[in-house]
Structure 1
Amino acid sequence: MTYIAYSTQFDAALFSLYAFYVAFIILIMYLRNEDRREGFPLVHEQNGDLVIINPRSAPKPKVWNLAHGGPTVAGREERDLTGLLTPTARVPGAPRLPLGNPLADGVGPAAYALRADVPDLTFDASLPKIVPLRAAPEYSIAHEDIDPRGWYMITADKRVVGTVKDLWVDRSDVILRYIEIAVPGANARNVVFPIGLANFDAGRREAHTSALLADQFLAAPALKNPDQITLLEEDKVSAYFAGGYMYATPNRQEPAL
């Protein structure tokens, strides 16, 4: 009797190739299903009509159990930008230009997401994560570093808009996140913006930012609570100041060459 090894009854290489094909098709189907969680229904760029998709292809709602705030469904509300942008050409994917004040409207580089309008919390103590140093006396500026509180704040047009009132610390990462400016005058207010967009001159005791002009700086988004910042406010503040690098002056929107 002649014995034949079982492995000779089929082509192992061909079997592996077919298995890869099947696994890859399943992966593509899964990813195409998952990517419909945000950005749908689709809206036609030219006429604004909704693009209808097969309801069966929509994924089932996915629920996340958050450390703070209980369960939430995946996906978020999208901003309505109707009337804020206009396409440069009537072709799909054409760049869009702002119609009004792009910084105030929150479009382009100044765009923000509709995050939860509640403060981010620390994991263990459930305290507001980002607060001014006056609200977190357990934190202080290292004596080897500069302390800019009391220094003048100067904008891109070389104007003094106020003085540094306080610095905001991230309790979880133990790092300074924001700088708070006290603006004097009839419309006195406090302005908070990312500390990474500020430069400090210890010799002159001045803080500088090239992101915005003075008038734009004074119109920055305000906080509901002077001693804490919500997730939505974080996005709005960061987007407003970062957007200034393109929208603060007309020449910033032009090509460098």
Structure 2
Amino acid sequence: MTYVAYSTQFDLALLSLYLFYGFFIVLIMYLRNEDRREGFPLVHEVNGQLQVINPRSAPKPKVWNLAHGGPTVAGREERMLDGLLTPPARTPGSPALPLGNPLADGVGPAAYALRADVPDLTYDAALPKIVPLRVATEYSIAEEDFDPRGWYMVTADGRTVGTVRDVWVDRSDVLLRYIEVAVQGGDERAVVLPIGVANFDTRKKEAQTSALLADQFLAAPRLANPDQITLLEEDKVSAYFAGGYMYATPNRQEPAL
């Protein structure tokens, strides 16, 4: 009988390899469990029945201590869209069409998430991050750039809906984020729109947007506080103007060819 020494069959290199195998298996199991925080458990598109993949479909709730929202449990609250969209067809992946005004209802490209209704804060001073220049007096528009304040605001149908009252700056990224427009009709609360959906004509002294028509622009979401914008309001405003590129006119929803 041949005697084989254990030490000649198992050494430190082999131990390291087995430890790596075990670590990698645990890592894969952990990642597969964590990626189920969003979108699980599954709900059937047509009948709405819950589809349980396995008993470990969803991990235990994770809590984050946010500076601007306090303790937050993973998994954002979903909006209730009953009565706003048509039931989807029996074919999986079929779209649900809006039943009313998709811009006002916030569906499709105009959909928004239920973010915290508090302003985002700067890291150091814990001040509202996005504010108008009249509040962030330490910031100003560079002399070599144009200042749109006082310019007319013109919508996609060529109508003038007001004048640019102020521009909003991001204190953290030092960028202009929004334009504030004093609308016609004596409304004290102005309309705030993302600066990315506007074009500026320096010759005509106009700020122009092709996202919305005049009536839709005047019905845009307003801010509760005229000097700050919350995370929820950011989502609503951005979604409203982005949705206009599809819903502003009926022909925008049709094929190009």
Is TM-score (shorter-chain normalized) higher than 0.5?
yes
Q: Shift of residue 75 of structure 1?
A: 1.8
Partner of 2:202: 202
Partner of 1:99: 99
What pairs with 1:14-163 in structure 2 (closer than 5 Å)?
25-52=25-52, 54-87=54-87, 89-163=89-163
Q: Aligned partners of 1:142, 1:186: CA distance in 2, in Å? A: 31
Q: Shift of residue 150 of structure 1?
A: 0.7
Deviation track 1:223-244 (CA, whole Å, cap 9, x = no partner) reads 0100000000001000100111
What pairs with 1:184-199 in structure 2 (closer than 5 Å)?
184-185=184-185, 187=187, 189-199=189-199
Q: Shift of residue 39 of structure 1?
A: 3.0
Tell me which moved more, 140-149 or 90-99.
90-99
* 2:103–2:243 Cα contact (<8 Å) kept: yes
Q: Aligned partners of 1:245, 1:48: CA distance in 2, in Å? A: 31
Tell me which moved more, 128-137 or 63-72.
63-72
Q: Aligned partners of 2:245, 2:7: CA distance in 1, in Å? A: 66
Partner of 2:252: 252
For the aligned residues, what is the CA RMSD? 2.9
The size of the alignment, in residue pairs, is: 254
Deviation track 1:182-236 (CA, whole Å, cap 9, x = no partner) reads 0121555410010011111111111100000111101101101000000000010
Tell me which moved more, 237-246 or 64-73.
64-73
Q: Supply the AA of the counterpart residue of 2:80.
A: D
* 2:177–2:194 Cα contact (<8 Å) kept: yes
SS where residue 162 of structure 1 aligns? strand
Q: Supply the AA of the counterpart residue of 1:67.
A: A
Q: Shift of residue 129 of structure 1?
A: 0.5
What pairs with 1:174-189 in structure 2 (closer than 5 Å)?
174-185=174-185, 187=187, 189=189
Q: Shift of residue 254 of structure 1?
A: 1.3
Q: Shift of residue 18 of structure 1?
A: 8.6
**Structure 1: gaps of 5 or more residues:** none
Q: Aligned partners of 2:70, 2:252: CA distance in 1, in Å? A: 44
Q: Supply the AA of the counterpart residue of 2:148.
A: P
Deviation track 1:143-196 (CA, whole Å, cap 9, x = no partner) reads 111011111000000000000000001111111000000012155541001001
Q: Shift of residue 58 of structure 1?
A: 2.6
Q: Shift of residue 16 of structure 1?
A: 10
Q: Supply the AA of the counterpart residue of 2:95.
A: P
SS where residue 141 of structure 2 aligns? coil
Q: Aligned partners of 1:164, 1:15: CA distance in 2, in Å? A: 69
SS where residue 179 of structure 1 aligns? strand
* Cα distance change on mapping 1:183 and 1:54 into 2, 3 Å: same
Q: Report % sequence identity.
A: 83
Q: Aligned partners of 2:177, 2:128: CA distance in 1, in Å? A: 13
